[in-house]
Structure formats: C-alpha cells, structure tokens
Structure 1
Amino acid sequence: MTTEILQETKVDNARNSIEWSTLHLSLTPPHRLPLTVMRAGTSRGLFLHRNALPHDIKDWKPVLLAAIGSIGNDERQLDGLGGGTSTTSKVAVISKSKIQGIDIEYTFIQLGVGEEIMDMTGTCGNMLSGVGPFALDEGLVTPTPGQREMTISIWDTNTRTKIFETFEVTRYGKYQPNGDTYISGVKRPGSAVKIQYLDPAGSVTNQLFPSGARQQVLLDESSVKATLIDVVNPFIFVDWRSLPETIRSAEPNDEKVLQFIERVRRAGAVEFGLAQNIEKAAMIRATPKIAVIKPVDDSVGDIFVTAYTMGQLHPALQLSGTACLAAAMRLNNTVPSEIYRIKARAQDKSITIVHRQGPISAIVDGDGDSIKSVSVIRTARRLFEGYYVL
C-alpha cells in the first residue's frame, strides 16, 4: 500500500540540513520500515530488503537518515537506531540477484554521525559478514535438507565485486550464530563466517594502483610516504615512520592527529582520481579510507595498523582494510610490503595484522604483481527484527 510518510518541511539551511520533500513509499502503515539489526564483524547496522525502500535510490536518504537517527545533524542519534559512531551507522540493502551465477546482491550505505550524509562510494566488509546469514533467515536462499554449511555468491553493487561467503546452518535450516570463533573487538564468540573476495583489485577505480605508483609522497611539506591501492576498497596506507614527530608522539585520537590524517586523506583522494580537488575531497568522507602502518613485534603479528574512518579513529580495522592491507603486503614495492619483508616472511599466504583491539588474519592468493583472492573470517549475530516508525 502506498502511504505518504514524510510531509514537506523546511529545515534551517544554516545547519546544512536537508530540505524534506513529500515521499511516497510502499510501507506498512503507520509509516513503518521493516528492518533487522545485526552485529556483523565489528560493525553494527540495519539490514533491509531492497523492496522495503523507494524504487529510486535518491529517495533513500531521508528514510535511512531518520532510521539511523542523524536527522538534524544529531551526533547522539537519539531518534534512531545508530550508536553515535561511524561503525554503528551503517546500512546493508539486500535482494535476490538477477545476475546469472550470483545468489544475492548487497548494497552498502555509510550514514553520517552528526551530519546528514549518505555515502555509497565504498563498501563495508564487516557488514558483508551479515549478508549470508540475513539472506538465509529471510528465505532469500534455501539450503538442501540436512545441509549444515552453506556457501553463497554475493555481488557487491558498490564495488562490482563477486564474493563467496560460507556460514553454518542449523538443523532447522536457519543461520547458526553460535560457535567458538573469537574475533578481536567482539567479546562473544560465534560461528565462523568465511568471506572470500575474488579478483578484488580495482574495485572502485578499476585499477590496482590508480595513481600509477606503488609508493609516493603526500603533503610535500611533510613528506608523508604512502601507498594508494584499490583492493576491495580504495585505501591509503601511510608509513608511520614518515609522519612528523609531533604526530607520531601524540595519541592517535588527538584532534591535531585527526586533522593531519584527514589532510593526508584528502590529498590522497585527489591522487586516486576520486576527487578533482581538495575541497571536493572534503565532501567525500568515506572514500578513500586511510590507515597508518608500522612494524610490530614478531611474536604478535606481521604489521600494526591504526585505521581512521569518517574523520575519526576507528576502534579496530575495517574488514575491507584487512583484505586491502594483506594484499598490499604481498605486492612488490609497496609501503606495506617493505615493512612486511623486514620479517622475511613474504611468501606466507597467511598474514596476521594487529590493530588496536587485537589480531586479525587473512589468506592471500597472489604474487608480487597481482591478487587472485583474499579470504577472512568474521562472526555475525542477529540482534533485533521489527519496524522503525518513521
């Protein structure tokens, strides 16, 4: 049934707020949006069926901003289901695929915290770990009788990437969330969800190294050494050793550090070709992503990473960042591979990356010049299902 859900309301332009328009959506009255809340990897977000949203993607923004709670630039997201952080302000839109050989299509949306922003320029690997479990529980894919493990194919519409996802199934044909797999940043164990990215290079830019260089200097006055690489998501990996002393000696969430890292990210966005200039790069907050890397003790892992997202310190590491960094560590002449080769373990397929919450491992199939696939393990759990009242 078609229902008018939002009346035309003008919001103060000085607050950079959106101007509402009258929208007609196919929602159950009284203006309810069916959704599921899931913890997927180290993220939490809303999972929705594609047919629960307007046909035209440009009409999604007011609905999703309302559901997450960012209307009126609310940093606390009190009127929504977000958690006041970038890692809990995410949406996964799921549908059956019409593409031959693909089971499910996944569209990722990053929503702003304290900003009325909807960004679809990149993807989220953590949210991806909930796609298969959601699809199974919602009847979008069907196991065979007695099947206890299931592998499905997923098409990431943001990055035009094919993914295989493997997860456990209960004897009742539903997702089995319980298990003994721990991932850093999540206190409760769960069943393993294996994610395999196939041919992940050039996911957004169609090039492995969009700037044409495997290493380069950003911010000439500071000589920041970095690798700009596009595997699963475009990332800027900055060599911690090249940062100014004032930045290296400060806490990673210090405001001066956040501002400096964002300056580097914007410069990298221009080099990536994702923004025409620094001013336009400031308007694209989610892509490219940026992380600072440095050597780590052999007994702990292979490399240490501090990640940033939407201008803030990331509490752990994006799953796409795990895949991208692991790939960069296997490719010749990159900043990550230089740090990794200090350990003389460059031919190992298994790579352990250490972030602020602990270690995460990835399996990389590739050589010094190309990447065939990257695999990682996550867990996921359905937390809530119901309606958001718009």
Structure 2
Amino acid sequence: MAPQIRIPATYLRGGTSKGVFFRLQDLPAAAQQPGAARDALLLRVIGSPDPYGKQIDGMGGATSSTSKAVIVSPSTRPGHDVDYLFGQVAIDSPFVDWSGNCGNLSAAVGPFAIASGLVAPGRIPHDGVCTVRIWQANIGKTIVAHVPVAGGQVQETGDFALDGVAFPAAEVLLEFLDPADGGEGGEGGGSALFPTGQLVDTLDVPGVGRLQATLINAGIPTIFLNARDVGCTGTELQDAINGDAAALARFEAIRAWGAVKMGLIHDVAEAATRQHTPKLAFVAPPADYVASSGTAVRAADIDLLVRALSMGKLHHAMMGTAAVAIGAAAAVPGTLVHQAAGGGPRNAVPGSVRFGHPSGTLRVGAEAALVNGQWRVTKALMSRSARTLMEGWVRVPPTP
C-alpha cells in the first residue's frame, strides 16, 4: 500500500470558527488548481464524507464552524498582500462549497500570512499593528486586517473576549470594503446590495406560506425573516432548532426559494449543491435570555436579536459574514433588520448595532449611503480574534 503524503499546514481558530490553512505553494501540484483533485484532497484532510457525521478520520469537528479549509497565496492583485480562498467542506457528502467567504476565518488570514512569510518583512513593524490587505478570491472583495505585532511576531495573546470563544486573545480589527455582492441581481434586476430592488420582499414558499423577507448581498448573501413569522422568538439556542427535523426542513425550503428569488440559483433543486450560500437568519426586537454559556443577556444591552443557520443547522454564535450582512441591513431604513432594531441603534456607538446571538452578543458597524437612488454599503467593521492551534503537516492517503 502506498504511504501517506504529508502537506505543510496550520490549524487556526479565527473568530468562532477553526480550519486547516495551507499556502498554495505547499499543496500537491494537482491541487494547486481548482477542480476535482483539490476538492478530493480537502475532503480527505477534513474527513468527509462521513456517514457517521463525526469526521473522526480527519481534521474536521463535525460542525459547519469546524469543517473548513483555507488556501492563501501571494496576491496577484495590485495593492494587496495575499489572496485568500475559502472552502466550506460538507460533512456527510463529497462536496466543497466555494460560493462564499468565511468572515470568522478572515480574522486568521492576516496572522497566518505574516507568520508564513507571505507578507513582505518591510511591511511588518517590530511592535504595533500590521495592516494586511487581503483579496477574498471567492467573492472578489477586499478585506483589511489590522493584526497586532510584538517583537516582530504576530501577537496572539490578549484580553479581548469574544462571545462564543472560551478564552480571551488579541483583538484583530477587520474592515470589509464595499462588501455588497457585485452580481447582476435576482428578480426585479435590483442593485447588488438588494438583488430584487426591494428592501422587503414576499417569499411564497410551498408548504410554508407567504413570508416577508429582506434579501441582501453584503458579506454573504443572506435572507432575513421575522422570527415571529416562523414560529420563533429570537431567543432560541441550538437545541431548540437543531433537534427539530421539521423546523430544519422548513428553514431549508425557505432558503431554497429565497436563493431563487435572489438569482443565486435557477431552481430550488440546485440549493442542495449550494449549501454555504445564501445564509438564513431570523430577527426580533430585544428580549432578555440566557446564552449557551449561562450568561444572562439583557434586552437593555442590545439593539436586536438574531439567529442564523449555516449548512442546515442553527449556528452556535454568528457567522462573521452574516454579521456583516446584519450591520449592512441595520444601516438601511426599512429592512426587517432595521425594523427589529427599532429603527436604529439604541445603544451608543453611531453606525453600529449590538445584537444578541446564541452565545452572547456582538457589535458590528457599517457605513451605508443612498447614491443615485440605490443603497450602497462602503465598509463594514468588526473585531474578532485568532490563534494558531497547531502547525506542522497534515497526512492523508494518496487520492486515486
């Protein structure tokens, strides 16, 4: 039997996700190009497809937050340091979804690039903050990461606490520039930010009914619903949704019909091959609840409640890209997100909202303006953290 091959790799946490990071140049030659060989390799690295749903024979953690792979390379685009490609690896099927970004792992790209020699040494201060300009290759957008540096090395330890992560670390500030999708738009041929041209649409979903929805392309294509319209309160934790097969089926049906309306797919049957996007989220006005950590979240401390689904399950916290969508939608009067926030932020920081999610709270900011009758979001900002968990090599059996 042929021996395993070994590939240089780093296992990192970024925000509330973690994944296996590779330099493009370190991948086997066949996997340095998009296609079946690359997908097969990443599936084997992560441990998919796994009919048991555990990814025991790979690096994945059997959740959408931990079944991820990243490829980073020196950028071919002027004014950028690195190109960043993200793959969402399905758990129980042989499929890698390249249709969107991971906002959480975006926080780890800058630190990885610096530590891996992909940022010019002259750009790295001895002490201070290194600004890494990242080209997000999945969606064709720029992310600017402000990475703390101490003694010429990435500073990973610190006192920045992030709900959904057990331990504090150093803060990494992310700027998502012009985060709206550059696509052609869905029904109605609307702007890239609102693909139908409407701030609130009506989805007619067979077996579910008619639902109001805000469909937005910012950070990642996202469908926002009112929690009450889907029988929820907005205070749910994972078990309340993920243990209800009928509820998950309804949410997936809504997601599929919303994807058609957004112009992302032509037929609802295609949704099964586009699991990473769009995301589905539901919103509600502030309410008291107890987060999954046991911490009490007070209605008075947040602007709204948001719960989001990723890869068919309720997320344990909030996807970073969905947080960008929340910030963008909250900045535009008339969206369901803006309405749930009572018409704007209640708590303090101008241009930002603080929302409650299953693990606690998160603040995200966005700059939005009405230009020639079309809403445009120029920038979204949020703070995350990142940490190297392991570095060395991953080993995989040779692919056929």
TM-score by length of 2: 0.85
Partner of 2:202: 217
Partner of 1:370: 376
The question of 1:226 aligning with 2:205 is answered no
Equivalences for 1:1-390 in 2 at 5 Å?
30-53=4-27, 54-58=31-35, 59-71=37-49, 73-141=51-119, 142=121, 143-144=123-124, 146-171=126-151, 173-203=152-182, 207-220=192-205, 222-244=209-231, 251-253=240-242, 254-297=244-287, 298-342=299-343, 345=346, 348-367=350-369, 369-390=375-396
Supply the AA of the counterpart residue of 1:252. I
Distance 1:169-1:64 versus aligned 2 partners, 3 A rule: same
> Is the CA contact 1:327–1:374 (under 8 Å) kept in the aligned structure 2?
yes
After the TM superposition, which parts of structure 1 deviate over 6 Å for at least 4 consecutive aligned residues?
245-250
Per the TM alignment, residue 247 of structure 1 is displaced from its structure 2 partner at its CA by 11
> Is the CA contact 1:274–1:281 (under 8 Å) kept in the aligned structure 2?
no
Distance 1:246-1:104 versus aligned 2 partners, 3 A rule: closer
Deviation per residue, 1:186-238 (Å, 9 max, x gap): 01101100000111112555711112221112235522211110001100011
CA distance in 2, matches of 1:40, 1:155: 17
Distance 1:342-1:373 versus aligned 2 partners, 3 A rule: closer
> Is the CA contact 2:214–2:335 (under 8 Å) kept in the aligned structure 1?
yes
Distance 1:116-1:344 versus aligned 2 partners, 3 A rule: closer
Partner of 1:3: none
TM-score by length of 1: 0.88
CA distance in 2, matches of 1:305, 1:153: 30
CA distance in 1, matches of 2:320, 2:235: 25
Per the TM alignment, residue 252 of structure 1 is displaced from its structure 2 partner at its CA by 2.2
| Secondary structure at the counterpart of residue 153 of structure 2 | coil
Distance 1:152-1:279 versus aligned 2 partners, 3 A rule: same
| Secondary structure at the counterpart of residue 366 of structure 2 | strand
Distance 1:203-1:252 versus aligned 2 partners, 3 A rule: farther
> Is the CA contact 1:91–1:109 (under 8 Å) kept in the aligned structure 2?
yes
Supply the AA of the counterpart residue of 1:358. G
Per the TM alignment, residue 387 of structure 1 is displaced from its structure 2 partner at its CA by 1.4
Supply the AA of the counterpart residue of 2:137. T
Distance 1:39-1:343 versus aligned 2 partners, 3 A rule: same
> Is the CA contact 1:205–1:230 (under 8 Å) kept in the aligned structure 2?
no
CA distance in 2, matches of 1:246, 1:162: 35
Can you give the 5+ residue segments of structure 1 that lack an aligned partner in the other structure?
Answer: 1-5, 8-28
Per the TM alignment, residue 348 of structure 1 is displaced from its structure 2 partner at its CA by 2.8
Per the TM alignment, residue 326 of structure 1 is displaced from its structure 2 partner at its CA by 1.0
Can you give the 5+ residue segments of structure 2 that lack an aligned partner in the other structure?
Answer: 186-191, 288-298
> Is the CA contact 1:181–1:189 (under 8 Å) kept in the aligned structure 2?
yes
| Secondary structure at the counterpart of residue 99 of structure 2 | coil
CA distance in 1, matches of 2:8, 2:118: 16
Total equivalences in the alignment: 363
Supply the AA of the counterpart residue of 2:23. H
CA distance in 1, matches of 2:129, 2:285: 38
Distance 1:339-1:174 versus aligned 2 partners, 3 A rule: same
Per the TM alignment, residue 283 of structure 1 is displaced from its structure 2 partner at its CA by 2.2
Identity %: 32
Using CA pairs below 8 Å that are at least 6 residues apart, which structure has the higher relative contact order? 2
Distance 1:245-1:223 versus aligned 2 partners, 3 A rule: farther
Distance 1:192-1:90 versus aligned 2 partners, 3 A rule: same
Per the TM alignment, residue 30 of structure 1 is displaced from its structure 2 partner at its CA by 4.9
Distance 1:338-1:46 versus aligned 2 partners, 3 A rule: same
Please tell me the root mean square deviation across aligned C-alpha atoms, in Å: 2.3
> Is the CA contact 2:220–2:322 (under 8 Å) kept in the aligned structure 1?
yes
